[in-house]
């Protein structure tokens, strides 16, 4: 049986990044790997996650109790981290089961493959899981064939990390297209060129949250307070675009109802 397990996290400002050079992980328990402190490729520091079984799979709200428990754990793991500024808090839901291991099986009669209970290791384990499932399908006697046509290859995602060369730093790229030198989100150094490319991509973002994931726009220390209007304007200006709405956008004092 699938039961949602919520994990809350705290994101610390990029100024906290020099505090650690690797993931700091406590001894795992039977329920969870535990609260950890980890650097991110974007230059932030993560503290978390919690592990709380809930009933509603759509409940991704943070809680006072959950965040308090993270801060208490962080104080034990790395006390100096708590002196740094917090950029954001958020929660995600893992698909937990009553079993400790992955639940992968093939029903050849129904031509059905079940891949469940992967939890938070799904991204790193996905390729290995795919190869294993292919082997299970072959062992079950189900015919497999290569897809027809010329494979397009995996989609290429733009680089949005902190360690490599970003468009705003690339003089040659800016010379060829000045839009890569026009910064919209100053916290994350996201340019008009990057936003334009994301909105015109093969699978364009449908809303603000999709644009966040593709470019990191609105994800900096101000959480979109200064650039939200400009970003919404760019989304509305695209062909067929409308002014986006998102619960994650900040409300300026002037925008609050009287």
Question: Where does the chain show beta strands of DSSP type E?
Answer: 3-12, 36-39, 45-48, 52-53, 86-96, 103-107, 112-116, 183-185, 190-191
For residue 107 the two structure tokens come to 């029903």
Task: Please report the pLDDT score of residue 245 as a whole number.
Answer: 55
152 inside domain: no
Q: Is the pLDDT of residue 93 over 70?
A: yes
- The residue whose two tokens read 């468009």 is 167
Phi, psi of 166 (to 5 degrees): -95, 160
Same domain, 193 and 226: yes
Region 171-185 average pLDDT = 97
- The residue whose two tokens read 């795992």 is 28
Same domain, 34 and 107: no
The partner residues of 92 in beta bridges, in order of sequence, read 7
Task: Please report the pLDDT score of residue 209 as a whole number.
Answer: 92
256 inside domain: no
Q: Is the pLDDT of residue 170 over 60?
A: yes
Instruction: Output the CA–CA distances (angstroms, integers) from residue 242 to 122, 183, 234, 235, in the order listed.
Output: 34, 22, 10, 7
- The residue whose two tokens read 């893992």 is 94
What single string gives the DSSP state of each residue in 22-54? Answer: S-B-----SS-S--EEEE-TTS-EEEE---EE-
161 inside domain: no
146 inside domain: no
Region 164-182 average pLDDT = 96
Cα–Cα distance between 255 and 258 in angstroms, integer?
Answer: 9
Domain span at residue 173?
167-250
The answer to which of 40-44, 122-126, 177-181 has the lowest mean pLDDT is 122-126
Per the model's pLDDT, the better-predicted residue between 190 and 237 turns out to be 190
Same domain, 92 and 110: no
43 inside domain: yes
CATH code of the domain covering residue 82: 3.30.9.10
State the total domains in the chain: 3
Same domain, 47 and 131: no
Q: Is the pLDDT of residue 64 over 80?
A: yes
Mean pLDDT taken over the chain: 88
Q: Averaging pLDDT over each range in 66-75, 121-130, 198-207, 245-254, which range is the top one?
A: 66-75
The partner residues of 235 in beta bridges, in order of sequence, read none
The answer to whether 83 touches 74, Cβ cutoff 8 Å, is: no
Q: Helix, strand, or coil here: 71? A: helix
């Amino acid at each position: 049986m699938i039961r949602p397990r919520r994990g809350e996290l705290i994101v610390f400002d990029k100024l906290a990044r020099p505090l650690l050079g690797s993931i700091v992980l406590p001894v795992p328990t039977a329920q969870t790997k535990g609260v950890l402190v980890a650097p991110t490729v974007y230059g932030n520091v993560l503290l978390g996650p919690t592990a709380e079984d809930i009933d509603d799979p759509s409940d991704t709200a943070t809680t006072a109790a959950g965040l308090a428990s993270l801060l208490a754990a962080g104080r034990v793991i790395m006390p100096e981290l708590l002196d740094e500024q917090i950029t954001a808090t958020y929660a995600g839901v893992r698909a937990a089961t009553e079993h400790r291991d992955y639940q992968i099986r093939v029903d050849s009669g129904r031509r059905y493959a079940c891949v469940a209970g992967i939890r938070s290791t799904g991204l790193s384990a996905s390729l290995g899981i795919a190869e294993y499932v292919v082997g299970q399908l072959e062992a079950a006697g189900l015919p497999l064939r290569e897809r027809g046509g010329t494979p397009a290859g995996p989609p290429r995602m733009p680089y949005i990390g902190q360690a490599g060369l970003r468009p705003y730093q690339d003089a040659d790229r800016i010379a060829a297209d000045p839009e890569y030198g026009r910064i919209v989100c100053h916290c994350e150094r996201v340019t008009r060129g990057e936003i334009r490319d994301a909105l015109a991509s093969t699978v364009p973002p449908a809303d603000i949250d999709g644009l966040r994931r593709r470019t990191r726009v609105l994800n900096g220390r101000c959480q979109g307070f200064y650039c939200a209007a400009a970003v919404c304007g760019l989304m509305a200006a695209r062909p067929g675009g409308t002014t986006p709405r998102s619960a994650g956008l900040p409300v300026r004092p002037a925008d609050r109802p009287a």
